[in-house]
Structure 1
């Protein structure tokens, strides 16, 4: 019998959170409520804390090795998603998801190759891809926040006509919209990518964070994705971003490419990070379920708060991630309402502009906080635009 876990989002007070020294709580002054970067306002899950404490007590602080991460993720994937595609033979530990994305893109593309993304999308997609001498090509999402397959095929076709092949960097679940791609959409992605000679690399870091009314589908689980590559991690689901580790996964037809990844890449993850992630995946299920219920409640609360304090803002609730994408254009705050919310309301949310085409006039808000903090933040945002 599993013990009931209290909602992690209600465990910590604002005063306790302000003692933290991480980016979320130290970037802005103490009069700012931070609802921006992807950190959650939760205590460390007990199984993770116990595993880390035990490792430190025995001096187990060396270099990572072995297949414990792959085995733990495989068990989690089978239980949560009914997918048995995670195997040690087709996986490799990497320092984190974005560094893993870089290594996977190096395996399947050359310098100057195009990398297609669905904007608006996680800003490091632009930063990391550009830094590694690849060209970002946008295929904007549709008005509903889902993949616009006409735009995607248009991007692929345009590149094919130029004799250029590259990769499609897929975000699943999608950040910032919270969209969870359906099996049918992912199959269509695989088919189009094969037709135009594009390789799919899927960032699936938010995979554990899907609401009870939706279902996550791993990209590598759909027909046609056999030559795909995926990156997964426990870092977002259990708030372990500072404990660096992730897993690169290969479909059956891309296993040989993954095997060519330089050995030194596997030296980058933290050994304590791997221990923490394994504990989360194996023993953190009840904690995750309590978190997901808390996020469901916060989505409902956000709807009420927007109606009360920012009725001009439009929003399509995203079942994936704990990040929500707000369209603030009707508030007439020019291109960057995040500046107004920060300067006038002392609330930090992410500006939509760095997310690429479609980000103007939008903000991304992190709802992985207490209902009290979320309520105060929306009240301040309303006051910032004269609604309260």
Structure 2
């Protein structure tokens, strides 16, 4: 059954928003940098938040706002993943959950593997937890981006104590294969290490692409793994502060349940209420329409780059609304987003922030209207003729 793609809000209406995407730069700049999208909220979320505001329901988050059960039902419905709600605990956001778990499972000075090019806060949250970043870059083949399992094993054999995984991966949009995740879990277990998997982009895996939650990849993954996720990326709720820490084994559950009570108190009530609505079956049609729009946009972006920015290299992502684009051949330096912002008035995320592998790259947010995407790429393409 075909799904009608979701339509973005008019840009004049979007510029009334007060979030980072619409306040960081002047109005002559098209903002395609930070991971916020340009769509109206799912109706169920709007209704839940409006009801809360109408009631003055702005107090402390209760011990069980319903988010655990809502997520478990969502995981089963969308991923075929059986989650025990008793093994789910909330906190303020995904990075907060990552930091607290790493603090609990590593000692100060322990090395934590990350897989660049990767989400820039990973480079900050590992030191925040007391660890040291150990870089094991992804491998790019003709077919896909893949985990360097041999490199990760070497790092763990040399004493690294944890792997901070991004699944699906930001910025490449890669949904890691089950076989790769299972192999990673075996490696971690063999060396007495843990895997903390950031799965915030999981609801945005395209139909036809297999998404494997890390904890469901194998029995070993359930034993060594922790997942941290949220409705915030798919449903554009980053300002409302609610993320979930998920486990699948008694030992890992004891670790998360042993975190300080303040970790859970940081959950925002509006984030929890919005998350319950987002994870409800009522919001599935909205999410399907969003995915249909993102599918059209990711293919449109590939066509636009080929037409207007020859020399750009772009692999269509499995998931999300973020595009990892290699502009090295254009000769615009290690950080081409600087020139693009200055001369084309288009704000993209700076590639080098994702690691040295990001030199010559940009990250483009295509969670917008086709018209905005087209104008942005045409502006960038015009620089080639100046």
- Whether the TM-score (by the shorter chain) exceeds 0.5 is yes
Structure 2 residue aligned with 1:197: 192
CA distance in structure 2 between the aligned counterparts of 1:244 and 1:331, rounded to whole angstroms: 39
Cross-structure match for 1:333: 332
The 1-side partners of 2:129 and 2:227 are apart by: 19
Match of 2:276 in 1: 278
Instruction: Give deviations 1:80-120, integer Å, cap 9, x for gaps.
Output: 11111x22321111110000000110111011111100011
Q: Distance in 2 between matches of 1:130 and 1:354?
A: 16
- Displacement of 1:130 in angstroms is 1.8
Select the residue among 126, 129, 135 that pairs with 1:129. Answer: 126
State the alpha-carbon separation in 2 of the partners of residues 154 and 333 from structure 1.
Answer: 35
Residues 102 and 129 of structure 2 are in contact (CA less than 8 Å); yes or no, is this contact kept in structure 1?
A: no
Residue 212 (str. 1) matches residue 207 (str. 2) = yes
- State whether residues 336 and 361 of structure 1, in contact with CA within 8 Å, keep that contact through their aligned partners in structure 2: yes
Matching of residues 8-87 of structure 1 within 5 Å:
8=6, 10-65=7-62, 66=64, 68-84=66-82, 86-87=83-84
Structure 2 unaligned blocks of 5 or more: none
Q: How does 1:116-195 map to 2 (within 5 A)?
A: 116-144=113-141, 145-157=145-157, 159=158, 164-195=159-190
In 1, the alpha carbon distance for the partners of 2:65 and 2:11 equals 39
Tell me the equivalent position of 1:260: 258
Deviates more, 1:264-273 or 1:366-375: 264-273
TM-score (norm 2): 0.95
Q: State the Cα distance separating 1:67 from its structure 2 match.
A: 5.4
User: Which residue does the alignment assign to 2:235?
Assistant: 238
Structure 2 distance, partners of 1:334, 1:184, is 37
Contact 2:298 2:366 in 1 (8 A): yes
SS at match of 1:284: helix
Unaligned runs of 5+ in 1: none
The CA deviation string for residues 50-107 of structure 1, in whole angstroms up to 9 with x for no partner, is 01111222222211120511100100110111111x2232111111000000011011
Structure 1 residues 168 and 211, CA gap change in structure 2 (3 angstroms): same
Secondary structure of 2:17's partner? coil
User: How far does residue 216 in structure 1 lie from its aligned partner after superposition?
Assistant: 1.3
Q: Secondary structure at the match of 1:358?
A: helix
| SS at 2:234 equivalent | coil
Structure 1 CA distance, aligned partners of 2:202 and 2:295?
16
Deviates more, 1:247-256 or 1:100-109: 247-256
CA distance 1:5–1:20, shift in 2 (3 Å): farther
Measured in 2, the distance between the counterparts of 1:170 and 1:238 equals 22
Distance 1:173 1:377, change over 3 A: same
Per-residue CA deviations over 1:11-46 (Å, capped at 9, x if unaligned) read 411111111110001101111000010000111111
Task: Report the more deviating stretch, 167-176 or 127-136.
Answer: 127-136
- What secondary structure does 2:341 align onto? helix
In structure 2, distance between residues paired with 1:366 and 1:355: 15
Using the alignment, how far apart are the partners of 2:152 and 2:379 within structure 1? 39
Q: Deviations over 1:226-273 (max 9, x none)?
A: 221110110011111111101101121411111111111111111111
Mapped partners of 1:327, 1:126: distance in 2: 21
1:225 maps to which residue? 221
When the two chains are superposed, the root-mean-square deviation of aligned CA atoms in Å is 1.5
Aligned residues: 378
Q: Shift of residue 6 of structure 1?
A: 5.5
User: SS at the partner of 1:338?
Assistant: helix
Contact 1:167 1:198 in 2 (8 A): yes
Quote how far apart the aligned CAs of 1:5 are: 7.8
Whole-angstrom CA distance in 2 between matches of 1:178 and 1:261: 31
Please give the alpha-carbon distance, in whole angstroms, between the structure 1 residues aligned to 2:8 and 2:105.
44
Q: Could you tell me whether the CA contact under 8 Å between 2:4 and 2:292 is conserved in 1?
A: no
CA contact (8 A) 1:245 1:274 kept: yes
TM-score calculated relative to the size of structure 1: 0.94
Alpha-carbon distance in structure 2 between the residues aligned to 1:256 and 1:23: 37
